[in-house]
Structures are given as C-alpha cells and as structure tokens.
Structure 1
Amino acid sequence: WPGMEQDVESLPRGGFRCRLCHVTAANKPSLHDHLRGKKHQRLESLRTKRQLQELRSVFVSGFHKGTSAPELSEYFQAFGGVASVVMDKDKGVYAIVELQDQEVLEKVLAHPQHCLGGKRLRVKPREKKEFKYMPPKKQGSAPREQLSPEKLTQALCQADDVDAQMSQVVQLFEFSESERQLRHLLVTLFQEVFSEFFPGCAILPFGSSVNGFDIHGCDLDLFLDLEKTKSFQASAKAPQEAQVRRAGNRDPWRTKCTPLQAEEGAGPDTDSEDSILSDIDLATATVPEVLELVAAVLRKCVPGVHSVQAVPSARRPVVKFCHKDSGLLGDISINNRLALCNTRFLQFCTEADERVRPLVYTLRYWAKQQGLAGNPFGGGPLLNNYALTLLVLFFLQTRCPPALPTVAQLRELTALGDGDQAIVDGWDCSFPQDASRLEPNTNTESLCSLLAKFFCVFGDHDFAGCVISLREGRALPLPNFLLSEMDSKLKLGPFNVQDPFELSHNVAANVNEKTALRFQHCCRDGAKYCRSLQYQRKSSKGKAWGLVRLFQPGVPEAGELGPDGFLLTIPFTPMALSPGSRWQLCQARDFRRCWFGKVCSAITFVLKDVLKCSCTEPAGQPLTQEPTEQGGGEQPIVGSKHPQSDEGGSLVVSPARKRLRAEGPAPEEGESMSWSCAVWHRVWMGRRRIRRQLWHLGSPQPDTEQEAGSLEVEEKVSEAIIQQEGDSRGAEPLLRFTACAQVGGSQEDTRTLLCFTPAPQQGPLFQDFYHFLQGFLPKMVERYVGRTAEGGSSESQDSALRLGDAILD
C-alpha cells in the first residue's frame, strides 16, 4: 500500500499491525479492510489536520499572567489572519497561536521583536510531535478510592448484629465531608462559568451525588437547565431585530448587545465583546450543536477540567469530562429533567423510611461482589445501580404491611393538596415534597429480616413473565400488561423493571437471560445462607459471620440440582410472536394452559426432530402425540392410544403425576407433561464447528444470528454429527433421562419449569448435556413458537388449547 509504510509493520510470526490505530490484522485482506475502514480513515484525516496546524502555529510565552486569548489574537492579526488561540488555562504562562497560512507564519517569525503590554514575547515555531491515538476509555481516569476487603471485614466483624453491620456499610461507603465539599465547589464553579455564557442557566446535580446513595468515587452527574437562557435570548433578540430593521440591515446577529443592555432595553454596543449566544439560537439548535457548545466552554474556560468529550449518540446525550486534580469523572446533560424527578423520588424514599439506605447499600455491594450489578464503563448486561435500587423500593412497597407507599398513592396525596403537580416531558411526576406528611409506618421488620426476605422473594420471581411496577406497587403479569398497555413502548426482555415516572422505559432492558438467571441463583443462595446461624448470630470464635460471608464472591453452579433433578426454566417470550398472535394469545380463556401447550409442543419438536432423541412410553400412561412441523397442515392428535413410529423412535408424551417443588401456591394436579428420552449420539458437542463446515460445503451463510440458529440449520447440524459418529446404535444409549414440564408455581406465573432426571450413574455425562440444553432449549422453543404463530395464529392456538385440555384431563 503506497504511503502506508509509516503506519503498517509486519509482525515476526505473521500478520500486521497498524501503528496509527493500535490494531492487529491476521493477514493482508484483513489489513486491507482495516485501512479502508472508518476508524483508520478518521484517524488519518485527524493526523493530517493536526500536522497542518503544527506547520502554521507558533509557541508564544513571556506575556503578562492573565492575558486573554482575544488580546493575543488582536496582536498577531497585524501580521495576517489568526485561526485560533489556545491558552494554557491551568497556569496561563503560554499559548499556541494558529495562523491563517504559512505566509503569515513566515512574517511572524521574521519580525525581530514582539512586545505586548510592555512585555517582550518569546515566539518560536511550534514543536512537532508524533501523533498518538489515545482511546477514550484510557483518557484521564485517575484511580478511585476503594475500600479494601480486609478493612470492610474487620469493621463488620466488630458489630453486634446484622442490623449494626448494615448501618456500618453505609458509614464506610458514603461520602466523606471533604468529598461533599469538593462536589459542592465544582458545582459552584460550573455555575459561575456557564452563567457568563448562558445568562440565567442553572447547574443542577442529580444521581448518586445527591439522591442519598452516594458511593466513594461515583460520577458527578449534572443537568444544565437552559430554559431561562432561551427566554433571555428571545427577549434580547427582539429589540435587536427592530433596530436592525430601522437601520436597513437584514442580518440581526451582526449587531450585538451586552446582557445588561438587553435587560434594560438599551441599544446595541458595537464595541462590546461578542457573546457565545450570538453564534447559536438555542430555540432552534440541535442537541449535538448545543453539546459541542457546552464542550467548548468546558475545554477553554473551566480550570482543572480535561478529557472533554461530547456523546450525542447516548440515550441521554451528555458531555463527559474529568477533573484533573481529583480524578473525578462527570457528565453534563441538557435534556434530562426526568432524572431530576427520579433523584427527588429516591431522596423522598430515604426520608420516608430510615431502613432504605442500609438495605440499598448492602444489596448494591452484594450484587457488585457477585458480578450482578454496577455501572461499568461502556454498559453491559449487568443491572445498573438505579435498577437495583428500584427493585429494593418495590420490595418494600410489597411488604405486609407496606414499608413504602406506591407512586399511585403518592400521586393521590398530591391531588389532595399535599404537593405540587409536576408534568415533565409529558409524564406525571407528581408526589409530595415532604415525607413527614405520610401516614406513620406500621412495618417494624428489622434490617436482618428484610434482607433475608428480599432474597426469598426474588429467588423465585418470574422476571421475564411480568413487569415490576413501582407505580402500582405490584408485579403486572405480562399478558395483562400487554392487553392494558397495547400502545406502550416499554422494551420487554428477561428482566422488566418499569421506571416509576417514564413508563415507557425499562431500566433493566440491558440485562440478558444469563444475568437474570444468575441473579435468581444468587438470590436463592443468599436466602439459603440467611437461614443459617452463621448469618443470624455473631461468632464467639472470631470467625466470619453475617454480611461478611454474604459478601464473599461466588459463581453459582451451571446447573441447579434440586430434589427432583436438574431444573430448567423456560420464560414467557411474547416478543417471539407477531402482534396479532400475541394479542390473541393474551385474550385466551385460559392463557397459562394455552401457553403451556405451545411450550410443550416446542419441547417435543426440539427433542425429537432437532436433537434426534428417541423415547419410550412410561408404563401405564396414556399417550399424547405431538405434530411434526414438516408438512405444516397436520393437526395434533390428542389422546391417541397408539403412537406413530419412525426409524429414530417416536417421542412419547404423557401426563405425569410427579410434582415439582416450587414456592408459592401449587398448581392443580395433572398440569404437567413428561418425556422418557434416550440420547444415542453426542449431539451437543462440536455444533459450532459442524455449522461452519456446512456453510463451507455450499450452504449459504446466514445474514443474521437468528438465521444461523434456526430450527432447520440446527436439525442439519444434528444429522451431520450422527453421520460422523456413525448411524449404527450400540446396545445401550449414551443417556437416558426423564423430562417433566410443569407450569409455574403461582397463579400468575407464566414460566414453564422443566425438570430433568437422569438415569443412575450418568451424572457427569448428563451434566454436559444439561449445560448445553440450558442455553439451547429456551432459544429453540422461542423460535418454534414464533414460527408456528407466523404459520397461523388461530390454528396454533387451537392446537395448544386442545393439548392443554388433554393435559388437564
């Protein structure tokens, strides 16, 4: 590649490395793709721009401290055009002056002596530096203060009981007085600087710094309120336009006035310095334009701030920054008024019940230690701290008696005159401002008891099948929610927590199935530990007890082995259905039975047709045969006395009397199905490799991940594995197991619990198969249900209902 020698180097063991982007390519085609990519082209353009700036810039020093950039610009304009002046804003001892072109630079350097304000200036060409790319995540991130586990353990073990430990957690993690003072000073500094450029604006902190759940080193979240500034700009613009019209000038912004003149209604002052508001109309400016303006003020005018970066693509566009001396990270948003309401609501809850803060601090640290929650850089599938806090508040709303009121109850108090009505961005954010107006709290549970019950409640909660609503103070079953909120834009997923005010926002929408499952497993482990004496009583021998053992990191086992075997949960996934079939399913006379029939049909198809399992009939059980999907027109035969057979053996489905153990009200007798299966080949091993081989043999490579994992593709993969191992079967299968499906425990639970019980002495091999089924079976069930719904929602629903009737009968 001509001209790329300076950027590309060959590696000793093959491959190439781009020095500009710090990217390694395995071969020449990959390198060629990288060099033509957006990242390399952008950095190359940026490097060229910086080099051209260096060639026409001079380094200036020796001027009086406090000399402004306009003064330097005015001086050098005597030699020609000046593009920009960048001051050393921390010490104010030097400046970089970028001139219009090379000709102006030569004039400046040829001048024998430069003087400004009686001081002799030292002017020399700008030093040439090698362009280096610094990734954003590595910029200006000073190490944050961390509480060592040893110090935490020592402090907690000295407490008298668990309640005292939880109070100690708050004292160890909350802000010190110096941290509060630092943030207050920074907010004051920002307010002073931005008021100079945006008259009437307000800098308002929100989030962890002020909502009552502050943690050492947490970010400083700020909201820049520009509403009064927009009003000021509109009022200042009107007299200018009138005077310009009288003067016959068509450009109203060529003549500018000072803020004082605008307020007094005086005429424009042609000698006044241009205001930043002269360059942009806030009423019509786009969000990226305003963000760049805010970023420019931070870069050039706020001392001690660096690594400023505008992020207009975020859900709430912000300008990120770092405070150099303290290493404090922060961001400024311009359209996040709902965050102010959420912050005040969290403050209100901490005032309403003093147990809120210890419980939230304890659960946040526990979730962080288990790798379940936090606010990592770049996001991720973890619960954010705000979502976890709302989960705790919801738990306190649902205690008996309730420890916190619901948002709907607070709204009723506001309507009675105990607060101001507040509508923000079209959402009703009304609640009382004073928590003392609430009725006395009759819930007297201890912190120790509340923590244990939190783990019990959410250890068996149907997160995917309901929407946690703090507005109503209850979990809304997904079928009912979909019927009542048909126009809701709430993004549903494996973990659904509705924002208490912005009802279209799922604050846990980023959580994936794996994290949701791990959260439940960890809650079950926590509930089990909280029943032990090690949690409830202080150790007389100096051993770890109480929260210390709970905070120890641990990863739940891949499989959960209960008294009835390996348990796998298949959630209700309405997004797999088309809107029409979703609506029809939710309106079914018995939704749970209909959905359970669909899931059982899918399990049958996946085990028999996709994974090629064969099964035998349990003795003394009537048969229920499921339809195959090939042919598309067959109706299921329910209650048939003779199963159909094929070469691979037929899969027999029969009602089971065995009951799964689950918390909550038990389902009616007979709401279950069982499969007695045998596996003859290792169809769970090497599937990704086989899939790639099938693509290379001529099958078209899928465009999306969903196509790559379609039922047809996975069926071909299983057939290829069987061919490679040999179609002949041995005397005994590799595995024998029984699968028993049952609806969830409570009456509103939409999950399907699938319990596997392997034959004796097959535990280790079956664990590998079960680990594969954990990730494979729920996805295949979702795709099967979606495909049958697309093929005919009424037929598939009738089939599911008939199958459900057979199960109940």
Structure 2
Amino acid sequence: MDLEVDIITTPKGFHCNLCNTNVPNKPSLDEHVKGRKHRTLSTVRATRRAQEERSVFVSGFPKDASQAQLTQYFQQFGPVAEVIIDKDKGVYAIVQFSEVDSQLTALSQLVHDMGGMRLRVKPREKKGFKLVDKKNTGVKNQEEFLERLKPALGQAETVNEQMQCVVERLQLAENKRKARELLVQLIQEVFTEFFPESQVLPFGSSVNTFGIHSCDLDLFLDLENTKTFQARAKTSTEPVAETSSDDGRSEDSILSDIDLSTASPAELLELVATILRKCVPGVHKVQAVTSARLPVVKFHYRALDLHGDISINNRLAVRNTRFLQLCSGLDARLRPLVYTIRYWARQKELAGNVGGPGPLLNNYALTLLVIFFLQNTDPPVLPTVDQLKHMACEEEECVIEGWDCTFPSQPIAVPPSKNQQDLCKCLGSSGLLAAFFSFYATFDFAGNVISLREGRALPVTSFLSQARKVPQEEEEKNAMEEEQPRKPHNQQAPKLGSLNVLDPFELSHNVAGNLSERSQHSFQRECQEAEKYCRSLQYLRKSTKGKPWGLVRLFAPHGQGPKKLDGSVEMSISIPFKPALLPEVLRNQLQLAGDGFRLIWFQKVCAAMVQVFQNVLKCRLGSFTESAPSGDAGHAAVAPGSCESMETSSEELNTSSDSGIAGPGSPQSAAAAAAGSKRRLSSSEDGDASSSPQDKKPRLGSGPKPGTPCWTWTQTHAVWAGRRKVRRELIKDAADTRPEGSNMALEVQVTDHIVEKEPPVKVPLVFKVQAKLVGNTQSTKVLLKVHPPSEGKEHFRDFFHFLEVFLPKMVDTLMEKGV
C-alpha cells in the first residue's frame, strides 16, 4: 500500500515521494525500491508510525513534574517505554507505551488524576513522514540571502565597499556574540560544579573573527587542572572540604565515580552528555558522537536556536583559533577577503558540506588557502608560521602533542607588511581578490602540498614514500626495540588527496583530505572563470544603468556543467591519482622520479586499463595508435598532428603473443607505448629531485610529457547486463563479500559466465578509447575519452554508464595489487 503512495508516474519515468528521487524506467525503479536508502526510510517510517500508535499526548501537569512521576502514574495502564517532556513550548509530554493495548486502556479512562492534578490525555497527533532535503533547503536560503544582499551591493561605489558590505552582512552580530559568551559562562558554571578547576574554552568560527550568524558553537572542555585536583584529593592526608548540592550529593562527589586519569574518552563524553542533558537549562538533542575522528558531544540550545559541540581532546583546535585571530589582527584585508571567498565558494557549490563531512571544501581549509596566498604575494602580506615562531618570546613557546605551536600572542610583536595592494584594482594593480583567483587558477595541486609553516608548496614526491600510516602496534614495537619514546603523530604522513593543505601545526593532518577529485577540479575551474571575470569592466566599474556588477555577478549561483557544442554530454572517464593505493615499490619509484612521476604513473594506469578491457571484459583489440605530445616530435612513435601511426590487427597481435614478443595491445607494450620512447632520467632527477630551495618555488610541470595513446576495442557480448546478479550467484557459497571491482579473478568469472550463457549482441560494439594525462594546473589524473560506435549507440550508452564506475575501480584494484 505504501509503495503505491510513494511511487508516482511522471512524463520522464517515476518519482519516489519517500526518497524525493526520480528514476527513468521500471528496471531502475525496481533497483531503487530494493536499495538501501528506500529500505532504510521505509523502516524509519514504519517505526515512527508504530510509536504513534502506542503513544498519548498529556498536558495539565505542573512545571516541576518529572519524568519519573509521569512514568509511575501511567504504568498502571501498561509498561511505559519512554516519556518525553517539553517544557519550553508548553507544559506537555508524550508518553509512549510498549504495547498498543496500553494506549487504548489509558484513552478509555475518562478522568486522569495525578497527585490532585487533573491531566488531559488524548491520542498523539499523527504526522506524515517526509524526508527533509537539507541540501535544497540550504540552496534556497542562499538564494534568499543573495536577493537581500544585492541592493546593498548595488549601492556601493567600489568593489572594496562591496567586500566590506559582505563582511557586515555575514559576520556574527555583536548581540549574538555576547549571547554566546553568556551561554559559555553558564556551561562553565555548571561544569565547574562537577569538574573543579576545569575550563570551557570556545574555539572555531564563533571566536576566530571569521564567524557568520549561523555558525555553530565549538567548545573545548579542559580537564587537566581537574585531573590534578583529583590526584591531590586522593593523596592528601587531610579531608577535602565538601559542600552539598541541592540533591544532597557533594560538589565533587562525581569525581569519586570516575577516575579521569584512566577513563576512556567515550566514558568522559557520556558523562559530559549526562551533565548537559540534566543540568543546563534550555539544552536538548544531546548526543555523544564517540566514533568521529575527534569525538564530541553535540547539543542544541533552544533560546538562541544554536547548535554546538563539546570536545575533550581538541587542544590543537584552540591553538589554531588563536593563530587565525593573530592573522586577522596583522592585516585588515584578511577578513573581507576570507568572507568574500567563502561566500563565493558556497555560491559555486565548492564549499558547505551539508550534515557534516562531505566531498566539498570546509571553511577552515578555505581560510588557510587565503592565508597561504597572502604569504606568497610580492611582498608578502602575512608571514609564514616559521617566521612567526622566531618572533615569539620565551614565555610564548607552546608545544601540544609534540607539535610546535609557537607564535606571538599579540599582533604588535609582528612588523607590518610592506604590501600596500588593495582588495580591488587600484594604481595598476589587479587587486588581492583577482590575484587570489589567478594564483589558484594555475596552481599545480597535483604536484604540490601546501605548507603554511614554510609558506611554500612542497613537492608531493616528498610524501609518496610515506603515503600510508604505520600501524600503531608496529610503532609501539619499534619504540620498545629501540628503547626510545614513541612519537606517533610526528611519524604519521598526511593523507594525500586531490588537494593537499597541511595544518599549520599538526603537520600530519591534511585539512582538505576529504575533497573529491571532482570538487578539486571544480574549484580550479571556477577560479579560472573568476579570474577572467575580474579582468572585465563589469567587475571593475559600477553600472550606470543599474545592471549587476562587481561581486553581484561574481556571486552568481553555480550553473550546469560544461557540455559540447551540440548539447550532448562528452563521454569521458576520469581515473585520479591516488598515492595511498599504490604498492610501496611503485611509490618509491615515483618519489625518485621527481617531477617525472606523472609519466611513470600514466604508463601503469594505461597498462592496467588494457588488462581490464582485454582480460576482464573480454574486449578484442582492433588497433592501437599513438600521437606524440606537442612540441616533442622525437618523444613518440609518430610526429605531432600526424594521422599515421602504428596499427596492429588482432591476427598480428596473436602472432606476437605466441612468439613471446609483447604486442602493442599487451599490458607490457601498453606501458611503453603509452608514452613512446621514454627518456632516461638524468642524475639530478634520479637523486634529490623532489627538493627545492626554500627561497625558490618548485617548477610546475617540468617533467616529461607523454603521448596520447588510442585503442580500438570490439565488444561482442553484453557483459554489463545482469552483472551484479551473476556475481551474487557466484559468491553465494563463498566468503568473499568485497565490493564490485575489488577482485579481478571473480570479475573474470562473471564475464566468462555471461559470455557462455548469453548470446552475443546483434551488432558488435566497436569503440575507441583515448587516454590523456591531465596534470600540472589540475589534479593529476588520466582522462579517458570514449568515442562511441557508429552502430549500436543505444546499447553502448548502457555500456558506458557501466564503465564509468567499473573501470576506475578495477584500475585501482590492479594498481594496488601491483598487477
């Protein structure tokens, strides 16, 4: 019955009301209904309906009534599962029974008297279950804010004034800032009762001078002094004076229930959650999240409609906040630049992960990108972290978890910048905003790791040999053998990704490690578009006709992706560079290659791709061609721009294979032919090629350039159709539960089964795959352009959609295994 209501027919297929999702056809609908999202939401809806059927709405009880009193009264009708009291919106409660009969019994009684108070009991209101699309809600709010912002931006006379206007409209208002301070004081007073001498320290957007009116409140509960207090109380021979609280328990009696020096973070967080839930008025929706990278207790404060979290092991984040406060005080241009770029990134869907972690940039990473850019202007606007360290006095030295976090506490200790460049174009200068876009439009994200400590881009090859973390057990074993103290944080390498930005102090943390390859490419593409716009008169001059100009046009919401001139979407598959998946031998080889690491990796990917088509999907190789890279006629087998190239038929390929000679379609020859005649690395490249002087920036894209290989393949069977079903049947009795594309032997069996049981397609699919190495100014990746066949395009469209997901996974599997 629910399925009939959930699914409606549309002109373009079907729409699922439950999941708010469109599907094109009946097979896709069947897969969607069986999918995890639909099944999960169906279960949640059924659970809520069952709870409504067993619950009653209760009002009329006094404000000081407790859950225990209501539970005791309603237990006469049957077992009570839960009692929820809401005293902020009105004095009422929801009483949920364990059984439906209990609810019917409670409703059948006409008069309810609890301690002389007459209660009003009625059925709980049944609300329709609806999935809230947080992403679309956020987009709608952004559009409304931009509409309100446009008149103010239009009245400004310069882009500088527009940027200041953005700061004024977005920043945390003074009254809200003070209200947050009062809340922190309230939480401090409550926690001091339970944890003597503890400190509640705010950090993050609320206090780092870059907060907006909707930002969360991040708090750090420092228990170091409390641990000392507890240890002193245990060892003291004199009894510690105690004062009684309202419930009869002593002020520090909670410390006798838990030993702070031995308690686990999860135990402490559960205790913090209990205190928040029971002792801080106005706080609700308290939840301890102990499985996150940095465990926290999340809460919501009703009076301010404010979300917040409390952590107990995030001292580095407090120091990072002090660093951002210092940078903001060093130069007044930083805040308008950060606010403008943050809002631009959100409008272009480059930042703003909804509901927590996601593939987009976070505000902290964006702020560090701005600071790094200002460290590299000429002359620099901001100093490097290493330079700040030398400006600090002895009392300001700070080391947290083994990381040097030393810098001056006051901006007055830092000499002012000699850079007088304005935010917008002035006196022949392009302005800092346009320069930011220009800086990252051509930045080599693939070959470099951004370091604010040194204020320069470090070559990624320096990190390749450490791409994987050493297991903790192995570190402990090595430390015991060497009889040296273990330094787990300093030994860990950062997680390399599409965009690498090292934390200023915790150098093992890549703050942009969550960014997907697509998001990084979008960021660079939008920087390139913004750079072009900042050179136009529409950006620099206010329109005399009242047309949008300056930041208004820059903030235009993100549009559709790039399409070909005929309106069709280009068929291409991207295989990004993932150093963490590479075997150790290959990572060491890439590290020694220096700037030439892309060429070696490109050859390996091409060889793996040939194996997938030839051995896994059973495609037949028709021919192989390669064109030379531009400006390097002697690098490949053919001249640039020439249509002539080496071609090998399948018969010749078989002959070559039988005679022990690797043909051009084999993995061995594909690796070599993909780049033509690979030149020998010079002694400088073979040695310390990854290092560069601190006062010089590394050369971007100076390594050898590969050619552009192209394969012609023929597919005679629909190996993509019903593949998952066949795979499930093959592993039904096996213990292999790995995802699709993670086991080459199994995927070969799946293909063989389809080829054996199913008839060939009516028209064989003859298609071309052209491989191109993309790097330097973009994230390093292999871009496979797929040219569809002249016949059988309808079948090939399904085959291509299958390849989009399957091919990158299989290539990653082969690369990881070193096959």
**Is this a same-fold pair by TM over 0.5?**
yes
Which whole-Å deviations, capped at 9, do the CAs of 1:96-127 have from their partners, x for residues lacking one?
Answer: 999xxx9xxxxxxxxx9999xxxxx5487998
Aligned counterparts of 2:647 and 2:597: Cα–Cα separation in 1: 15
Structure 2 residue runs without a partner (length 5+)? 8-17, 21-28, 72-80, 97-101, 103-111, 425-430, 469-490, 639-645, 679-696
Q: Which of the numbers 574, 599, 603 marks the counterpart of 1:600? A: 603
Asked whether 1:478 is paired with 2:460, we answer yes
Which whole-Å deviations, capped at 9, do the CAs of 1:492-527 have from their partners, x for residues lacking one?
Answer: 222221111112222112211121121122122212
Q: Which of the numbers 401, 410, 423 marks the counterpart of 1:425? A: 401
Q: Which of the numbers 439, 442, 446 marks the counterpart of 1:460? A: 442
Question: For the structure 1 residues 321 and 47, does the alpha-carbon distance in structure 2 shift closer, same or farther, using more than 3 Å as the test?
Answer: farther
Asked whether 1:577 is paired with 2:614, we answer no
For the pair shown, the structure with the greater C-alpha radius of gyration is 1
Code of the residue aligned with 2:227 in structure 1: it is K
What does residue 797 of structure 1 align with?
none
Superposition deviation, residue 286 in structure 1? 2.2
Aligned counterparts of 1:503 and 1:780: Cα–Cα separation in 2: 32
Answer with 704-713 or 427-436: which moved more: 704-713
Code of the residue aligned with 1:330 in structure 2: it is G
For the 8 Å contact 1:423–1:429, the answer to whether it is kept is: yes
Question: For the structure 1 residues 665 and 580, does the alpha-carbon distance in structure 2 shift closer, same or farther, using more than 3 Å as the test?
Answer: closer
What does residue 215 of structure 1 align with?
212
Which whole-Å deviations, capped at 9, do the CAs of 1:478-505 have from their partners, x for residues lacking one?
Answer: 1113458983242222222111111222
3-state DSSP class of the match of 1:223?
A: strand
What does residue 615 of structure 1 align with?
624
Aligned counterparts of 1:23 and 1:669: Cα–Cα separation in 2: 48
Percentage identity across paired residues of the two chains: 41
Superposition deviation, residue 308 in structure 1? 1.5
For the 8 Å contact 2:172–2:212, the answer to whether it is kept is: yes
Which whole-Å deviations, capped at 9, do the CAs of 1:663-687 have from their partners, x for residues lacking one?
Answer: 9978679733133x4656689x987
Code of the residue aligned with 1:235 in structure 2: it is R
Q: Which of the numbers 553, 557, 566 marks the counterpart of 2:557? A: 553
Which whole-Å deviations, capped at 9, do the CAs of 1:518-559 have from their partners, x for residues lacking one?
Answer: 112212221222222211222222111111111111246346
Aligned counterparts of 2:516 and 2:544: Cα–Cα separation in 1: 42
Asked whether 1:344 is paired with 2:341, we answer no
Asked whether 1:193 is paired with 2:190, we answer yes
What does residue 156 of structure 1 align with?
153
- Name the TM-score, length of structure 2 as normaliser: 0.68
3-state DSSP class of the match of 1:529?
A: helix
What does residue 494 of structure 1 align with?
498
For the 8 Å contact 1:681–1:722, the answer to whether it is kept is: no
Answer with 159-168 or 358-367: which moved more: 159-168
Code of the residue aligned with 2:531 in structure 1: it is A
What does residue 24 of structure 2 align with?
none
Aligned counterparts of 2:286 and 2:182: Cα–Cα separation in 1: 19
Aligned-pair Cα RMSD in Å: 6.0
3-state DSSP class of the match of 2:304?
A: coil
* 1:284-683 matches, cutoff 5 A: 284-414=262-392, 417=394, 420-448=396-424, 449-482=431-464, 487-555=491-559, 557-558=561-562, 572-586=577-591, 588=592, 590-593=593-596, 595-603=598-606, 606=609, 609-610=613-614, 612=621, 614-616=623-625, 623=637, 655=676, 671-675=705-709, 677=710, 679=712
Code of the residue aligned with 1:199 in structure 2: it is P
Asked whether 1:703 is paired with 2:708, we answer no
Aligned counterparts of 2:559 and 2:93: Cα–Cα separation in 1: 55
Aligned counterparts of 1:673 and 1:578: Cα–Cα separation in 2: 25
Q: Which of the numbers 215, 221, 224 marks the counterpart of 1:224? A: 221
Asked whether 1:692 is paired with 2:724, we answer yes
Superposition deviation, residue 645 in structure 1? 8.2
Code of the residue aligned with 1:431 in structure 2: it is F
3-state DSSP class of the match of 2:420?
A: coil
Aligned counterparts of 1:699 and 1:66: Cα–Cα separation in 2: 60
Answer with 345-354 or 590-599: which moved more: 590-599
Superposition deviation, residue 584 in structure 1? 3.9
Question: For the structure 1 residues 632 and 455, does the alpha-carbon distance in structure 2 shift closer, same or farther, using more than 3 Å as the test?
Answer: farther
Question: For the structure 1 residues 504 and 450, does the alpha-carbon distance in structure 2 shift closer, same or farther, using more than 3 Å as the test?
Answer: same
Superposition deviation, residue 723 in structure 1? 3.9
For the 8 Å contact 2:441–2:524, the answer to whether it is kept is: yes
Question: For the structure 1 residues 46 and 490, does the alpha-carbon distance in structure 2 shift closer, same or farther, using more than 3 Å as the test?
Answer: farther
Structure 1 residue runs without a partner (length 5+)? 1-8, 16-21, 74-82, 103-111, 116-120, 244-256, 263-268, 638-642, 658-662, 792-809
Superposition deviation, residue 782 in structure 1? 4.5
Answer with 462-471 or 378-387: which moved more: 462-471
Which whole-Å deviations, capped at 9, do the CAs of 1:560-595 have from their partners, x for residues lacking one?
Answer: 99xxx9999865432232224322431x3x444454
Aligned counterparts of 2:773 and 2:141: Cα–Cα separation in 1: 50
Aligned counterparts of 1:259 and 1:629: Cα–Cα separation in 2: 90
Superposition deviation, residue 219 in structure 1? 0.9
Q: How many residues align?
A: 701
Superposition deviation, residue 402 in structure 1? 1.4
Aligned counterparts of 2:147 and 2:336: Cα–Cα separation in 1: 20
Code of the residue aligned with 2:739 in structure 1: it is E
Code of the residue aligned with 2:387 in structure 1: it is Q
Question: For the structure 1 residues 38 and 618, does the alpha-carbon distance in structure 2 shift closer, same or farther, using more than 3 Å as the test?
Answer: closer
For the 8 Å contact 1:558–1:771, the answer to whether it is kept is: no
Question: For the structure 1 residues 233 and 473, does the alpha-carbon distance in structure 2 shift closer, same or farther, using more than 3 Å as the test?
Answer: same
Aligned counterparts of 1:316 and 1:728: Cα–Cα separation in 2: 51
Superposition deviation, residue 750 in structure 1? 8.8
For the 8 Å contact 1:202–1:225, the answer to whether it is kept is: yes
Code of the residue aligned with 2:281 in structure 1: it is P
For the 8 Å contact 1:604–1:626, the answer to whether it is kept is: no
Superposition deviation, residue 472 in structure 1? 1.4
For the 8 Å contact 1:464–1:573, the answer to whether it is kept is: no
Which whole-Å deviations, capped at 9, do the CAs of 1:32-81 have from their partners, x for residues lacking one?
Answer: 999x999979x989999x98xx99xx99956xx889999999xxxxxxxx
